[in-house]
Amino acid sequence: MSDTTTALLEDLTLGQQRLADGMDVFYSLWAGAMVFGMQCGFAMLCAGSLRSKNAKNIMLQNILDACGGALGFFICGYAFAFGSNGKFIGSSEGLFALSGVIAGTDLIDFFFQFAFAASAATIVAGTIAERCKMSAYFCYALALTAFVYPVVVHAVWNSDGFLSIANENPLRGVGMIDFAGSGVVHMTGGMCALIGAIILGPRIGRFYDENGKPLDTPATFAPHSVSLQILGTFILWFGWYGFNAGSTLGISAEGYADVAALAAVNTTLSGACAAVSAIFLDAIFYYQETGEVHYDLTMAMNGSLTGLVGVTGACACVEPWAACVIGLVSGFTYCLGSILLVKLKIDDAVDGVPVHLFGGIWGCIATGLFASPRRTVTAFGASMQNFGWFYSWGRGSGDANLLLVEFIGILFVAGWTLLIMVPFFSLLDFFGLFRVDVLEEMVGMDESRHKGSAYNIEDIDREHMDRLEQSRHGKKNNLDISGSDA
Task: Specify if 428 maps to a domain.
Answer: yes
Judging by beta carbons within 10 Å of its beta carbon (0-12, 13-18, 19+), is residue 312 exposed, middle or buried? buried
Closest alpha carbon to 81 in 158, 178, 190, 185: 158
pLDDT of residue 484: 42
Task: Specify if 248 maps to a domain.
Answer: yes
pLDDT of residue 164: 93
Q: What is the DSSP letter of 187?
A: I
Task: Specify if 9 maps to a domain.
Answer: no
Dist. CA 260–CA 274, nearest whole Å: 21
- CB 180, CB 308: distance < 8 Å: no
Tell me the pLDDT tens digit for each residue of 190-227.
999 999 999 999 999 999 988 889 999 999 999 999 99
Q: Which domain holds residue 341?
A: 25-449
Dist. CA 51–CA 126, nearest whole Å: 12
Closest alpha carbon to 383 in 218, 173, 208, 193: 173
pLDDT of residue 93: 76
**Mean pLDDT along residues 282-293:** 93
Count of the separate structural domains present in the chain: 1
pLDDT of residue 458: 63
- CB 115, CB 122: distance < 8 Å: no
Task: Specify if 39 maps to a domain.
Answer: yes
Task: Specify if 477 maps to a domain.
Answer: no
Q: Is the pLDDT of residue 476 over 60?
A: no
Tell me the pLDDT tens digit for each residue of 125-162.
999 999 999 888 888 899 999 999 999 999 999 999 99
SS3 labels along 377-402: HHHHCCCCCCCCHHHHHHCCCCCCHH
pLDDT of residue 55: 95
Tell me the pLDDT tens digit for each residue of 384-434.
777 899 887 755 555 789 999 999 999 999 999 999 999 999 999 999 999
Tell me the pLDDT tens digit for each residue of 77-118.
999 999 987 778 888 878 999 999 888 889 999 999 999 999
What residue type is assigned to position 122 of the chain?
T
Task: Specify if 147 maps to a domain.
Answer: yes
Task: Specify if 245 maps to a domain.
Answer: yes
Share of the chain above pLDDT 70, in %: 93
Judging by beta carbons within 10 Å of its beta carbon (0-12, 13-18, 19+), is residue 98 exposed, middle or buried? middle
Task: Specify if 470 maps to a domain.
Answer: no
* pTM confidence score: 0.91
Average pLDDT of every residue of the chain = 90
CATH code at position 326: 1.10.3430.10
3-state secondary structure of 214: strand
- CB 42, CB 66: distance < 8 Å: no
